[in-house]
Structure 1
Amino acid sequence: MVKIESEKQARTSALPAPGASEVFQLLRDGQPRTRAELAQLTGLARSTVASRVDTLMTLGLVAPYGGAVSTGGRPPSLFALNPGARVVIGADLGATHALVILTDLSGTELASARQSMTISDGPEAVLGWLVATIGELLREAKRTSTELAAIGIGLPGPVEHETGRPINPPIMPGWDRFDVPGLVQRSFNVPVLVDNDVNIMALGELSGNWPDTTDLMFIKVATGIGAGIISGSMLQRGAQGTAGDLGHVRVPRGGEIPCRCGNTGCLEALAGGPALAAALNARTGGDLTATQGVIDLVRSGDRDAIQVIRQAGRDIGDVLATCVNLINPSVVVIGGSLAQAGEHLLAGIREVVYRRSLPLATEHLRIVPSVAGQNAGVRGASVMAISHVLSPESIETASLGAPSEGPRRSGSERH
C-alpha cells in the first residue's frame, strides 16, 4: 500500500502545474522577469510559479535570460519568451500572387517565397504549391516539421473562420466550401487558420505599425473594396464573417450602375479597379484593362487619371464617413493596389470623411497610407498563427502533454 501511494505521489508531482498559461502571458512581451516578479504579478505562491516556469521551459517556450544555465547552484533568476522555440507559416494567397513567409514566435522572418499564380487555378493546384513551398522554407531555415506550430492563410474572398472554408467566393471558382485546412493538414499536422485577405492585412498593419492602437480600420482598395475592423483590440468578423464588406454598400453617386453582386449603385462598381479603368477609358477613349494602368497614369501626372482617382476617393469617403461615426476608429489605413496612387486617393477620402463625420469622431482621427504595403497580408497571416500558438488555450493544452525534453532553444539566446 505504501509503495502504491508513493508511486501515485510521484506521478502526481511529475505532472505539470495547471495554469501555466497565466504565467506565460506575462512573458509574451519578451521582457525578462524573475520568479518573484511573476509571483507578485499573478498573486501565486513562488513554488507554484517555479513549477509553471519549469513546465514552460520544458516546452521550450521560456528560456533563461542573461547568463549561462546553472550547473548546480541557484538557477538563473530571469526568464523570457524564447521566440526560437517554434516556427509558423504565414501565407497570403491573392487573386494573382502568392506570398509565404516562415517566422519565429516574435514574427522575425526566417525565409520567404513569392510566386505569380492565379487563385482561379483551383484549391488543389494552389494549396499543392503552398504545401511544397512550406517544406522548402523549412529546409531553407534548417527547421523541421516538428518545430512548425501553426499555419495562417489569407484568401481573397469570404471565409467561414470557424471551419476555414471559403463561402461563395466570387473570384475563386472551385473553392466554395473547400476544406482548406484539411488539405494542408494531410502534409502538416498542425492548426491551420484561414481568414479573408483584408482581415489579415488589418492584423499585419496593426502589429507592425500601430501596436498601441485599439481601434483601427484597414481599407483595401483594389479590384474589390473591403475593410478589416479592429475594435477594442479585437478583430471583428461578424456573425457570418462578412463584416467590413464596404464594396457592396450603395453610394449616392451610384445610381443604377450594375455591380457584379447583382445589385446596382455599389461602391465597388464606381471605385474598384476595373470601374476606374472603364471610367478613364470613357473620358479619354483609351483601352485600359487593368488597375495598374490607372496607377501608372496617375504617377505620370495624367490629369484625367488624377481626377478619376480623386473622385474614387470621395466615393470611398462617402461610405467611410458612416463607418467613422459608427465605429469611431482612431486610425484608418488605406491599402491595396490602388493605394499606390498615393495622396490623390487619400485626399479624396479625407475631403469627405472630415466634412461628413462627426467632429468628435474625427478630432484625433488619422487617415494614412499602409506602411506594410504588399507585405501586410502575409505579416497578418503570421500574426494570426502566432496568436493561436501563444494563446492561453494552446499553452494549457501543450503544458498538459509536455515532453520530457522540449524543442531546441533559439540559437540566438539573449545574453
Structure 2
Amino acid sequence: MATVPAPELGAVLHLLRDGRYRTRAELARTAGLSRSTIATRIDELLRLGLVAPVGGAESTGGRPAAMFALSPGARLVAGVDLGATHARVALTDLAGRELAGHLESLSIADGPDVVLDRVAALVSRLAGDLGRPLSDVVGVGVGLPGPVDHATGRPTKPPIMPGWDGSDVVGALRHRLGDVAVLVDNDVNLMALGEHATALPDVGHLLFVKVATGIGSGIVAEGRIHRGAQGSAGDLGHIAVPGAEPVRCTCGNTGCLEAIAGGAAVAARLTERGVPARTTSDVVELVRHGDLRAAAAVRDAGRSIGAVLAGCVSLLNPSAIVIGGSMSRAGEHLIAGIREVVYSRSLPLATQHLRVVTSLAGARAGVLGGAHAAVEHAFAEPSLLVREATAPGSLTAPGSAAATA
C-alpha cells in the first residue's frame, strides 16, 4: 500500500510523462519541492515500480547524479472497439504502446450480457498472454456503435443494438474485471481520439468520419473531443443529403446520409443493378477486383458524403477530415468523391489548408482511442496507478531492450 498520498505521487508521474530522464534535483526544482520531499516520493514510486532509475547525469566532479524515468509498462490499459459484427480488444502500456491485441466476429445484437462476457474474457486472456495478472489493468476504454450518455456510459436508444438501451456497461464490466476504471463512449469519438493521439497529434481541429454499414463522425476541437450538450455531436449519418431521394432510414426519417451512402445502402443498390453484394466487405472486394460498377457506386457515395461534409467544413473549419471505417478500404474512389464535392462547395478560406485523407491508424483507431482515454483518466486519477507491483520482471524503464522491442 502506498505510504505517500496518491495525488502527490501523481504530480511526480505527470512530470515524467514526457519520457525525459530527470534527477531528483531537477524534479524538486520543477515541482517547487524540497530535495527530501521529492526523494520520499521517488522512493515510493520506485517501490511501486512506476519509476525506474536510468543511467546517470553528466558528472561535474564526484559521483554522477541518478536519473529517473516513468516505467510505462508498470500498468496496463485496454481499448475495446465494438462494432455491429466485430469486437477488437488491445492492451497497451501507459505510453500507448500496443502490447497485445485480438479481433473476432461478434454480433452486438447478441446483447450486453453475451458481448460484455466476451470482452471481459478477452481482456483477461490478453493480460495472461503477457504474463500479467488482471489486476495490472487499471482502465478500460470502450467504444459502442451507437449514442452513449458520456456522463453515465449508458447507451441511449441505439438503433442497431437491441437490448442495450440504458444498459449499465460500466457496472457490468467492473463486476467482471474488478477494480478498474471503465470509460464508455461512441465508437467514432474514440476513433477520432485514437487518430489524433497516434497519427495527427499536431492537428488541433479534426473531423473523423467512419464510413461502414452506417456513417458517423467524431469531432476534435482544440485537441479535445467535442460531444455537444447531450453527447450526440457528430451524428453525421442522419443529416439529410441535399437533393437525395427520400430513402427510408433506420432512424425513421428519409434521405439520411447513412441511408444513401452507408455500406449497406451501396451494397443494396449494387444488388438491384445486378451486381450481388450483401455487405460493406462485399462492396470493398468488388472494387478491389476492378468492378467498374462498384467503383462508380462508391464514388457516388463519396459525393453524397462530401455534400454533407461541405456544410461541416463551413461550420467547424477543421484542418483535416479523416475517413475511416470498412468502406475506406475501397481505396481512392471514396476519397475522390468526397474531395470533389468538399473542395468545390466550401469557401476557399476554409479549404485553403484542409486535408481530406484516409485514416492512418486504420482499423486500430478505435482501440487506440479507447486505450488513450483510459491512460488519460488513470493519470488524472493517480490512485488507479499507485497499486503494488504484481508482475515481477515486467517493469522496464524507457531505453531498455524490453521497452524498445
Q: Please confirm whether the aligned pair reaches a TM-score higher than 0.5, indicating the same fold.
A: yes
Q: C-alpha distance in 1, partners of 2:7/2:162?
A: 47
Q: C-alpha distance in 2, partners of 1:34/1:65?
A: 10
Unaligned runs of 5+ in 2: 401-405
Instruction: Give 2:183's aligned amino acid.
Output: L
Task: Label 1:183 to 1:406 Cα distance change in 2 as closer, same or farther (>3 A).
Answer: closer
Q: C-alpha distance in 2, partners of 1:374/1:198?
A: 12
Per the alignment, residue 268 of structure 2 pairs with: 278
Q: C-alpha offsets along residues 241-293 of structure 1, whole Å, 9 cap, x if unaligned?
A: 111000001111224222111111111111011211222233x3334222222
Check conservation: 2:193, 2:369, Cα contact below 8 A. Answer: yes
Q: C-alpha offsets along residues 90-138 of structure 1, whole Å, 9 cap, x if unaligned?
A: 1112111111122211222222222211111111111111122222112
Unaligned runs of 5+ in 1: 1-13
Q: C-alpha distance in 1, partners of 2:375/2:64?
A: 29
Check conservation: 1:97, 1:115, Cα contact below 8 A. Answer: yes
Q: C-alpha distance in 2, partners of 1:76/1:85?
A: 24
| Partner residue of 2:307 out of 291, 310, 318 | 318
- Give the count of matched residue pairs: 392
Per the alignment, residue 396 of structure 2 pairs with: 412
SS at match of 1:326: helix
Q: Which moved more, 1:44-53 or 1:301-310?
A: 44-53
Per the alignment, residue 204 of structure 1 pairs with: 194
Per the alignment, residue 164 of structure 2 pairs with: 175
SS at match of 1:213: coil
Per the alignment, residue 382 of structure 1 pairs with: 371
Q: C-alpha distance in 1, partners of 2:83/2:384?
A: 33
Check conservation: 2:170, 2:183, Cα contact below 8 A. Answer: yes
Shift of 1:340: 1.0
Q: Which moved more, 1:34-43 or 1:130-139?
A: 34-43
SS at match of 1:361: helix
Task: Label 1:52 to 1:355 Cα distance change in 2 as closer, same or farther (>3 A).
Answer: farther
Check conservation: 2:49, 2:395, Cα contact below 8 A. Answer: no
Q: C-alpha distance in 2, partners of 1:231/1:124?
A: 35
Per the alignment, residue 351 of structure 2 pairs with: 362
> What is the identity percentage for the equivalent residue pairs of Structure 1 and Structure 2?
55
Within a 5 Å distance, the mapping from 1:258-407 to structure 2 comes to: 258-282=248-272, 284-391=273-380, 394-395=381-382, 397=383
Q: C-alpha offsets along residues 337-367 of structure 1, whole Å, 9 cap, x if unaligned?
A: 1101111110111111111222122111111
Check conservation: 1:16, 1:55, Cα contact below 8 A. Answer: no
Shift of 1:46: 4.1
SS at match of 1:301: coil
- Greater radius of gyration (CA): 1
Per the alignment, residue 403 of structure 2 pairs with: none
Task: Label 1:398 to 1:409 Cα distance change in 2 as closer, same or farther (>3 A).
Answer: farther
Q: C-alpha offsets along residues 275-329 of structure 1, whole Å, 9 cap, x if unaligned?
A: 11222233x3334222222222222222222221111111111111121222222
Shift of 1:75: 9.2
Shift of 1:56: 3.6
Q: Which moved more, 1:104-113 or 1:373-382?
A: 104-113
Task: Label 1:250 to 1:147 Cα distance change in 2 as closer, same or farther (>3 A).
Answer: same
Within a 5 Å distance, the mapping from 1:15-414 to structure 2 comes to: 15-16=4-5, 19-66=8-55, 77-189=66-178, 190-282=180-272, 284-391=273-380, 394-395=381-382, 397=383, 410-413=394-397, 414=399
Check conservation: 2:216, 2:236, Cα contact below 8 A. Answer: yes
Instruction: Give 1:385's aligned amino acid.
Output: A
Q: Which moved more, 1:199-208 or 1:341-350?
A: 199-208
Q: C-alpha distance in 1, partners of 2:291/2:63?
A: 71
Task: Label 1:411 to 1:56 Cα distance change in 2 as closer, same or farther (>3 A).
Answer: closer
SS at match of 2:124: helix
Shift of 1:404: 8.0
Task: Label 1:123 to 1:325 Cα distance change in 2 as closer, same or farther (>3 A).
Answer: same
SS at match of 1:174: coil
SS at match of 1:66: strand
SS at match of 1:390: helix
Task: Label 1:368 to 1:198 Cα distance change in 2 as closer, same or farther (>3 A).
Answer: same
Shift of 1:15: 4.5
Q: C-alpha distance in 1, partners of 2:284/2:104?
A: 22
Check conservation: 2:71, 2:395, Cα contact below 8 A. Answer: no
